[in-house]
Amino acid sequence: MIKVKNIKNISKMAHAVFSGGDTLRPFTVAVEGNVGSGKTTFLEHFNKNDNVAVFAEPIDMWRNCDGYNLLELMYNDPKKWSFTFQSYVQLTMLRQHQKKIKEPVKLMERSLYSARYCFVEKMSRDNLMPGASVAVIDEWFKYITTLDHTKVDLFVYLRTSPEVAYERILKRNRSEEKTVAYQYIKSLHDIHEDWLYHKTLHKCTAPVIVLNADLDRSVIEEEYEKFEPHILNKTALELKMA
């Protein structure tokens, strides 16, 4: 089942992107969802399309910042490294948002917004990041989200049950994620839900398409295809080609 919220506004927003204001900004879609929800698989599906520039999450940079594996440091000693890690995530995400492309649609795995609204949120709730550190991240966040090319026009929320996401994480067995517990994934799930589904947490700055990402890989491609016209923003493409 696919659920859409505010879909009527999407074509209006697409028109704004290409016909006024920040004219050269591509229609920007951020793919969000819990760890293990299938964001990378989703991106791979759209990689074949000539009108779309796909940006996978910069996880390799998080694993090697001048030789330091910040992702691993964070999981091994979250109290010590959460702030360092999230500072770097914020920088690398900003770079993804600002990368210039020639295609009219930019599809990103995550965004500045989920880094702040889901992960920093979780670390703050768990007292892994003290208030003063959250305040510094927030000051940067508030400033950089006023910069050009940091806006998102559409969120695609790959909605999973925490059980399915957790099973996938166990199965893929990423070395840094050995210590991830089910309870962590359940709490991150609740935070994603409150942000993108119930819209009770933080600001949701763009329409949200909700996909049932519990579906098996063999079936989910069909689900993606049903939503392709909205995700690829056919209205914007038509305007651009007119």
Which residues belong to the active site? 109
Told to check if 35 binds ligand TTP by CB under 6 A, we report yes
Residues 75-94 that bind ligand TTP (CB under 6 A): 86, 89
Count of chain residues binding ligand TTP (CB under 6 A): 16
The minimum distance between CB 31 and ligand TTP, in angstroms, equals 8
Q: Measured from the CB atom, is 49 or 184 closer to ligand TTP?
A: 184
> If binding is defined by CB under 6 A, does position 119 make contact with ligand TTP?
yes
Coil, helix or strand at residue 28: strand
- Least separation in angstroms between residue 164's CB and Mg ion is 15
Examine residue 14 and tell whether it contacts ligand TTP (CB under 6 A). no
Q: Is the dihedral of CA 189, 85, 205, 2 positive or negative?
A: negative
Strand 154-159 relative to strand 27-32, pairing: parallel
Structural contact between residues 109 and 39, judged by C-beta atoms closer than 8 angstroms: yes
Chosen residue from 11, 40, 41, 49 binding Mg ion by CB under 5 A: 40
CB 207 within 8 A of CB 13: yes
Does position 145 bind ligand TTP by CB under 6 A? no
The helix (run of H) or strand (run of E) holding residue 107 is strand 105-109
The yes or no reply on residue 41 touching Mg ion (CB under 5 A) is no
200: left (phi over 0), alpha (psi -120 to 50) or beta: alpha
Stretch that binds Mg ion, among 40-48, 63-71, 131-139, 211-219 (CB under 5 A): 40-48
Give the integer Cα–Cα distance in Å for 221 and 218: 7
Q: Minimal distance in Å, beta carbon 39 to Mg ion?
A: 5
51 binds Mg ion (CB under 5 A): no
Coil vs helix vs strand at 38: coil
- In this structure, the chain runs to a length of 242
Which spans of this chain sit near ligand TTP (rule: CB under 6 A)? 33, 35-40, 57, 59, 71, 86, 89, 110, 115, 119, 177
